[in-house]
Chains A and B, each alone.
Chain A
Amino acid sequence: AQSVAQPEDQVNVAEGNPLTVKCTYSVSGNPYLFWYVQYPNRGLQFLLKYITGDNLVKGSYGFEAEFNKSQTSFHLKKPSALVSDSALYFCAVRDAPYNFNKFYFGSGTKLNVKP
């Protein structure tokens, strides 16, 4: 079965500190992994993706994520948080090739960055 887990409902971090938002996944085939951000009353915006290749992928707004196959994880990171990073973050997976039609999303993690 395919699933995504975001174990933290909320992450609090001070501005300027590094941040990590955790994501683990379960698929039958090869994982195609994605991170999205959602600001209040808006749709989801794509941040970055891992398909294949380098385990460390870089995306928009200074975010990066590290794919770890042995731990089935894809944690989102940023070296120095900004107050404007405060939002809801979703991890998603596509299961290739067995179930590639669908995206499976985690329940979301609310990131609070305090000045």
Chain B
Amino acid sequence: DAGITQSPRHKVTETGTPVTLRCHQTENHRYMYWYRQDPGHGLRLIHYSYGVKDTDKGEVSDGYSVSRSKTEDFLLTLESATSSQTSVYFCAISESRTGGTEAFFGQGTRLTVV
């Protein structure tokens, strides 16, 4: 398995509180991604990074921010959690500018906002 660790694996938080999820990789891959998985929607891209301090929005970025200060760490922050952000969050990594390589996924973080 690719060296990707997501933390925490499970979290319950209250509406309106900030939450930070962490993705740590040991593969030195350039690209890192945050997805959310919801029934009927498959995987939707929240934000991604193509290098240290280089990030961009995905299709469902509202209410989320990210930071990447080191190659190995990609943080996802829910600025003020809402019930609609209850989901399973996956981090993924990939290498190659040419797009030839696949993405490797972490084990996921199950977030419940009450």
On A, residues with C-beta under 8 Å from B are 6, 32, 34, 36, 41-46, 49, 51, 90, 92, 94-97, 100-108
Contacts and interface: CB of A to CB of B under 8 A. Distances in A.
A111 to B, nearest CB: 15
A70 B96 CA distance: 27
26 contacts: A6-B42, A32-B99, A36-B105, A43-B90, A43-B106, A44-B43, A44-B90, A46-B102, A46-B103, A51-B100, A90-B42, A90-B43, A96-B98, A97-B98, A97-B99, A100-B99, A101-B31, A102-B45, A102-B58, A104-B45, A105-B35, A105-B43, A105-B44, A106-B42, A107-B40, A108-B43
What DSSP secondary structure best describes chain B's contact surface? strand
Contacts, number: 61
